[in-house]
Amino acid sequence: MATSTIPIWRDTERCYRAVTARDQRFDGQFIMAVRTTGIYCRPSCPALTPKAQNVRFYPTSAAAQAGGFRACRRCLPDAVPGSPDWNVRADLAARAMRLISDGLVEREGVPGLARQLGYSERQLGRVLTAELGAGPIRLARAHRAHSARLLIEMSQLQLTDVAFAAGFSSIRQFNETIREVFATTPSQLRAASLRRGNRSEPTGATRLSLRLPFRAPFDAAGVLNYHASRALPGIEAVSDDGYGRTLRLPHGPGSVWVSPRAGYVQCDLALSDLRDLSSAVSRVRRLSDLDADPEAVSRVLSADSALAPLVAATPGIRVPGAVDGPEVLLRALLGEDVADVVELGEPVPPADPPMDALTTLFPSPSAIAEADVKPLVKEVAAAIVAGELDLHVGRDADELRAEMLAAGVDSGTADYVVMRLLSAPDVLLTGDPAVRRGAAELGIDLATSARDWQPWSSYASRYLSSRTA
C-alpha cells in the first residue's frame, strides 16, 4: 500500500473500495469525508457506506477540517495508526509531519518548524498545502485537537488545564477548535466519555492510560525481546508482558510502560508536564514501530524465496525505533561500556508500579562529554552539545548520515542511527554481524538481494538478525 508512487488518497476508486470493505488496514492512510453529512471518518467507519458521488478523500484530518468537515464521533478518525508514508517518504512534507507529531509547533511555533527543516515559512507552507492539503498551522491545530480529546477523555484535569496542556493559547481558541472539529463542547466530550465508562481510574494528575492502535499483524514478542536484550537498569525495565523506560521530554522527565494487548498496546504514562503528552505518545509509537504497514512489508519480502519462510514464521516484525536522538547514537558508540555511565543520569520523579523501577534518565550529552569514556564518544557528545550534530526526527537521512560521518562515526553505526531515529524503512545493515550471519546461513548475497527488498530493507535486516539472535 505505502509503496505506490501515487498518493493513495488521490486514487479515489481504490479508496472507495477500501471504504466499502471497511478495511482497517487503510485507517490512517487517508481520510474519507462525506458531503451530505459534513463529517470525516476513517476508512473502516462502521456507519452506512455513503454513495461514491458524496465522498471526498483527503490525506490528513487537517485537510478535511480545512474543507469544512468535522470528525466522526463514532469512529474517532484521529485514533488510528499514523500513516506509514511519513517513514517511507523522506521529503519535506514527511519530515514536517514527524516534527508536528512530536509537538514542535506547540513549543517553537511555525518559525521553529521551518528553522528545523531548513526552509522559509513561506516555502514550507506552500509545500505542505500542496502535499497534505493544509499548511503547518492547520496541521498543528488538528494535532492539538487530538491531544485535547485524549486529555478530556482520559484524565481528570480541569478543562482549562487541558486547554493549555494540549498547546492552545487561550480558552476561547480551545473551545472553538473542539466545537469545529468534534461538533460538541469540551464538557460534552467529557460527559460522553464518562457515560461510556472507558476511562481508567486516575492515580494522579500526571498519570494517563492510553490504548495505542497498530496495523495487524504485530510481532509484540519480538519488540519486547529486542528492548529486553538491551535494557539498562533504572532507565529501562522489563516484565513477562511489558516494557518500560524513562523519557527525556521537552518540558521535563517522564516514564512509560507499554504492554501489548489484543488489537492495541496499553500505554501507561507518568509525565512531569502534561504539555509533553503528544511528544511522549509520538515517541512511544516510534519505539515499537506502531505505524508500520506489515502487509506491504510482507508482500515485498515474501517474494524472496530465501526470506519467505522467515516472513511466514514471524508475521508483523517491527523495526524498533528510538525515543531520543543523542541517546541512540551515544549508546551505540559506548557499546558494552554503556552500563558505566548510567549513574550519570538525572533522577526522575517516583511513579507507581510497574514504573517504580524506572528511576533515572539516560545521561545527557553534556554529562557524557565530561565523563571518563572513549575519546570518540566524548567528541561526539561535545559536538551534540555544541549543536554541530543535530539529531531529531525531522532530519533528512542523507544529511544526518553525512554529519555523523564527519564527526567520526563509522558508517555502520550511522546507518543504525538513521534506521532507528528516523524510522527509516529501507536501511540494510550490511555491517551488522548478525545480519551477515543470517544472510550467510540462507545463502543470500546482500549486495544483489537488497535491490529486491526496497523499500523495506530495514525489515529484511530484522528478519536476518533475528534468525541468529
Catalytic positions: 41, 432
Type and span of the H or E element at 207? strand 207-213
**CA–CA distance, 172 with 217 (Å, rounded to integer):** 42
Reduced to 3 states, what is the DSSP secondary structure of residue 256? strand
Which is nearest to 270 in space by CA: 260, 285, 258? 258
All residues at 6 or more sequence positions from 118 whose CB lies less than 8 Å from its CB, including other chains: none
User: Would you list the DSSP string of 273-287?
Assistant: SGGGHHHHHHHHHHH
Which is nearest to 102 in space by CA: 352, 271, 281? 281
Cβ atoms of 55 and 19 closer than 8 Å: yes
**CA–CA distance, 144 with 279 (Å, rounded to integer):** 11
**CA–CA distance, 104 with 98 (Å, rounded to integer):** 9
CA distances in angstroms from 101 to 45, 147, 279, 457, listed in the order given: 23, 10, 7, 25
What cell numbers appear for 372 in the block?
Answer: 571518563
Strand runs (DSSP E) across 151-203, as ranges?
none
All residues at 6 or more sequence positions from 398 whose CB lies less than 8 Å from its CB, including other chains: none
Sheet architecture: strand order including 243-249: 207-213, 264-271, 252-261, 243-249, 236-238
**CA–CA distance, 134 with 181 (Å, rounded to integer):** 15
Reduced to 3 states, what is the DSSP secondary structure of residue 74? coil
Reduced to 3 states, what is the DSSP secondary structure of residue 197? coil
φ and ψ of 108, to 5 deg: -125, 0
**CA–CA distance, 238 with 241 (Å, rounded to integer):** 8
Cβ atoms of 458 and 297 closer than 8 Å: no
